[in-house]
Structure 1
Amino acid sequence: MVRIPFLVLFAGLALAGCTAAGPDALTFGLTPQPKFKDNDPQDFGARHPHRHDIHGTDVSKWNGAVDWPKVKASGIDFVFVKATEGADRIDPSFEANWRGAARAGIPYAPYHFYYFCGEPDAQADWFIQNVPKSAVSLPPVLDVEWNPASPTCRTRPDPATVRAAMSRFLDRIEAHYGKRPIIYTSVDFHRDNLVGHFRNYHFWVRSVAAHPRDIYGDRAWAFWQYTSTGIVPGIEGEADINVFSGTREHWQRWLAYAGKT
């Protein structure tokens, strides 16, 4: 097993959004036509996600049966697939979704929704038990966010407890799959727990009303979820749409590392 040389992944790519060669180099000139329709489009100003070359989506059981060849033909370049939640729930569409994406030739990654009333080792065990290595085309994702609508767990541990639990889960998953996980988070959860921490992880951030730099400060991000009301051919109803931070060339170089195990 060859671990991804994580610190090399973005070396030379300037994907931290801090230099003219990075993603903000994509923000000059007139705003291009959107790649995908959106039922509730936002005005992101000059730094619009439509400037990014690489678009992806994320799916779970709520998206129903997905026509993956149609999704591929629409221009989707990657997909995050919900796999597990807590220590006892698996998304019933997980296997159909990752296998469908694989057959369509779309790079895919499973994600785990963290349950803050459970223990990290139990959740890591559950993820490993239910997610085969073949389902991990791209690095796996840890989804951490507050869940005030949960019928069973609305607890909000203190930041130190949150970070310790995350670190344990992330370490377990990286050791098993040989890929350093990506962290997905929302604005409030990041503000409460993650500012200044986990600098050596790639982040997938949610920001549907403003550019991540305006919301997450100096947090380097690799993926940006910019809408939950997008229209992706092959997915019935509204869908999340994400962009990758860099250019298509950056994406190909990132894939070359991320696909290794």
Structure 2
Amino acid sequence: MKKVKKMITALATSILVLGCNISAFALGFDINNDGVVNVNDVTFLQNEISNFNDNTDYDLNNDGRVDVNDISTLQIEISKNDIETIEKNTKLSVTTNEYKKNVGDTVTFSITTNNAISDITYSSSDSSVAKIVSTDSNTVKVKVNKVGSATVTAKQCSQSVSVRFSVEKAKCIDLSEWNESIDFNKVKKSGVTCVILRAGYGKDPNQEDNEFQKYYKQAKTAGLNVGAYWYSYATSVDAAKAEVKNCMKTIGGKEFDLPVFLDVEEYRQAVLPKRTLTDIIKTFCNGMRDNGFDSGLYSAKSMLMDSAYPNEISSNYLIWLAAPNESYSKLPNFVDIHQYDWYGRVDGISGNVDMNYVYNLNT
């Protein structure tokens, strides 16, 4: 009977990985007539087989024999019953049913469940607003990428629990070494949630922004969502490729919550053929993507509209537009980030600072 016991153990182990789609429990398996169907029925049948009892009432799998296969059938049915009982009593819960966040924020929350039989699955009602980044056991990480609302639902068997995300535009500032000493904790407390840092400029060596490394570390420590930009002088595709390499020397290995933007605002670029400037922008942005970073373009409204092909660029990359004298509602509908003021004041920064609103981070 050692073989019988080993088979029962193996079956019990395999049953634990069954999902929610199981057959109904057959009540006719109470072979010891004690009013319940459980492991005692397995023991009873095991003894009957050991005593060579070939009563056809014990032929549970209807194969014309009474043997170890009938024990297997009984064990499976008992396990199914246990699973059904657990599933009927499954309860899912979360500590918070609604989050009010700003574009660029990331939320990680856990699901509490009393059921360990099957995995929890997750879905978003609108992944452009609330994107599920990763899941791990009972934990899900969500990135909010656009103004709007969405619901993330966790489901296990027939039970589910939902968390609602209400997402508002993010208050954002962009910084370079010219902003000098900054208290990023005060910046965060002021209501700013995003910062875009100048990483450097051009294609030549030693053109990293002198404050980038320090700003990056301090902004991250303060809990701000961080992006970067690279000021461009490129007038050819080859120069744009060189700027990609130079930028990567500075930002390689870092993690950003916002994209890496190409800053295009030089007059030498404005007078280029539209095709040339558009290809310069695409070359840099594609280079960032090839290195694992989301990418986009920063420029003035007139520069983008008059010196490049805006629809071609906006259909592939994020658009961060400088238009301090216009309301967002009057800008082209492809604008994702609006730089609305060049003379803002923020606690933690001594001088003027560029002010922006982030509306969308989906490319």
- Flag whether TM exceeds 0.5 (same fold): yes
Show the counterpart of 2:82.
none
The one-letter code of the counterpart of 1:131 is I
- Tell me the CA shift for residue 53 of structure 1: 4.3
Which of 225, 243, 246 aligns to 1:107? It is 225
The one-letter code of the counterpart of 2:332 is G
Pair member with larger Rg: 2
Which of 52, 59, 69 aligns to 2:185? It is 69
Which of 209, 233, 242 aligns to 2:325? It is 209
The one-letter code of the counterpart of 1:240 is D
Show the counterpart of 2:244.
124
> Is 2:356 aligned against 1:232?
no
Distance in 1 of aligned mates of 2:188 and 2:300: 27
**Contact 1:110–1:135 under 8 Å retained in 2:** no
Rate the CA distance shift 1:12–1:170 in 2: closer, same or farther, 3 A: closer
Instruction: State how many pairs are aligned.
Output: 200
- Tell me the CA shift for residue 170 of structure 1: 1.2
> Is 2:150 aligned against 1:60?
no
The one-letter code of the counterpart of 1:183 is L
Report which stretch shifted further, 229-238 or 111-120: 111-120
Q: Which has the higher contact order (CA 8 A, sep 6+)?
A: 1
TM-score of the aligned structures, taking structure 1 as reference length: 0.69
Gaps of 5+ in 1: 1-7, 14-21, 25-51, 247-253
Which structure's residues are more often strand, by fraction?
2
- Tell me the CA shift for residue 142 of structure 1: 1.4
Distance in 2 of aligned mates of 1:154 and 1:185: 11
**Contact 1:227–1:240 under 8 Å retained in 2:** yes
Distance in 2 of aligned mates of 1:59 and 1:134: 17
The one-letter code of the counterpart of 2:247 is F
Write the mapping of 1:1-261 to structure 2, written as runs, cut at 5 A.
13=129, 53-88=169-204, 89-117=207-235, 119-145=239-265, 147-148=266-267, 156-176=271-291, 178-192=292-306, 193-198=308-313, 199-214=315-330, 216-218=331-333, 220-245=334-359
**Contact 2:198–2:229 under 8 Å retained in 1:** yes
Q: CA RMSD in A?
A: 2.8
SS of the aligned residue for 2:311 comes to: coil
Distance in 1 of aligned mates of 2:128 and 2:212: 35
Deviations 1:23-47 (A, max 9, x none): 69xxxxxxxxxxxxxxxxxxxxxxx
TM-score of the aligned structures, taking structure 2 as reference length: 0.50
